[in-house]
Amino acid sequence: MKKLLFSFLLISASICNATSLNAQVIHVQYKQTIAIPENIKNMTDIATRDFIIEEMQKQQAIFNLLTNNGIYGFTTNGISDEKFKIDGNGSVYINLNTSEKYSVKNIIDKPFLVKENLNAIEWNVTEETKEILGYKCNKATYGDTVAWFCSEIPIPFGPSGTFGLPGLILELQTNTDSYTAISISTENNNIDIVLNLDKSKAITRKEYAKIQKKKLKEFGVDSNGPGKGKPQVKVITM
């Protein structure tokens, strides 16, 4: 098993390389599947449990991923008037040129904009391969996360803000949800990827976790019981 550590310089270089190789913007669609955490399934308040599960299942959707000149967007929105607006639960906006990363995370049905640091990720790349949409993909792992990436498409991004591999991630699996690419196409390179939320109202991951713990406790979800550390109604991504 090879261990690869990709710096931001290498990531940026990959973006530039991808831009030069592709005159148009890469557009990938992913199907999302959410797994219900055990501590949600085991809630004693049946009505509240069913409400939370229903809300989680509503969040399952088709997501779109676009990259253009070092800017990455991941959301359920489509392209309208040459703009790709990033908002809605599970959306992620990354600007490598300014080292910004913003994620939209819901607690039950209330959205929060979370600002995070961009950190290099140490991926374990294996020799295992499989084919997705006709592309040969290699398997890589990071903790509980499994990614299948395609080096034929030299874009170091994937679903839900994952990045750092030498190719586009076509399938991503975590212990709480998964994303599988269902189509890959191209768009004109004048598409503008825009964060459609007020950056000044963004909170940190630590602040979000504190609010999340409080809100879930109000709904009877015990973060100290089975599944400790993973009481999410919506997955906290990388």
Tell me the per-residue pLDDT of 37-73, one tens digit each, with 9 for 90 and over. 777 888 888 888 888 888 777 767 899 999 998 899 9
- Range in 5-14, 55-64, 184-193, 215-224 with the lowest mean pLDDT: 5-14
The answer to whether residue 19 scores a pLDDT higher than 50 is no
The answer to whether residue 225 scores a pLDDT higher than 80 is no
Helix residue ranges, H only, the chain: 8-21, 38-41, 46-59, 205-218
The answer to whether residue 204 scores a pLDDT higher than 90 is yes
At 8 the pLDDT is 38
At 170 the pLDDT is 98
Name residue 142's beta-bridge partners. 145
H-run or E-run covering 50:
helix 46-59
CATH 2.50.20, domain 2-218, yes or no = yes
Q: What is residue 157's DSSP assignment?
A: B
Of all residues in the chain, what percent carry a pLDDT higher than 70? Answer: 81
At 223 the pLDDT is 53
Listed residue (99, 107, 74, 96) closest to 196, CA to CA: 74
The residues spanned by each domain of the chain are 2-218
- Map residue 236 onto helix, strand or coil: coil
Q: What is the pLDDT of residues 94-142, one digit of tens each?
A: 998 888 999 999 887 788 999 988 877 899 999 999 999 999 999 999 9
